[in-house]
Structure 1
Amino acid sequence: MWRTFTALSGALVLMACGDGAPHEFPASAQAQFSATCPSSDPVCACTWDKIAREMTYEQYQAAVARFRREGLMDTHITHARTVCVEQHPHSGN
Structure 2
Amino acid sequence: MRWAFIALVAIGLAGCGEAAPNPYPEAAQARFEASCPSENAVCTCTWDKLTRTMTYEEYEAALARFRETGLMEPRVTRARTACVERHRE
Cα 1:88–1:11 change in 2 (3 A) is farther
Q: Percent identical across equivalent pairs? A: 52
Count of matched residue pairs:
89
Alpha-carbon distance in 2 for matches of 1:2, 1:82 = 41
Q: How big is the alpha-carbon RMSD for the aligned residues of Structure 1 and Structure 2?
A: 1.5
Q: Which runs of 5+ in 1 are unaligned?
A: none
Q: Which runs of 5+ in 2 are unaligned?
A: none
Match of 2:33 in 1: 34
What is the CA distance between 1:89 and its match in structure 2?
0.7
SS at match of 2:20: coil
State yes or no: 1:77 paired with 2:70: no
State yes or no: 1:5 paired with 2:10: no
What are the superposed Cα offsets for residues 15-67 of structure 1, whole Å, 9 maximum, x if unpaired?
Answer: 23x21111110111111111111111000000000000110000000000001
Match of 2:63 in 1: 64
TM-score using structure 2 length? 0.88
Match of 1:15 in 2: 15
What is the CA distance between 1:14 and its match in structure 2?
5.0
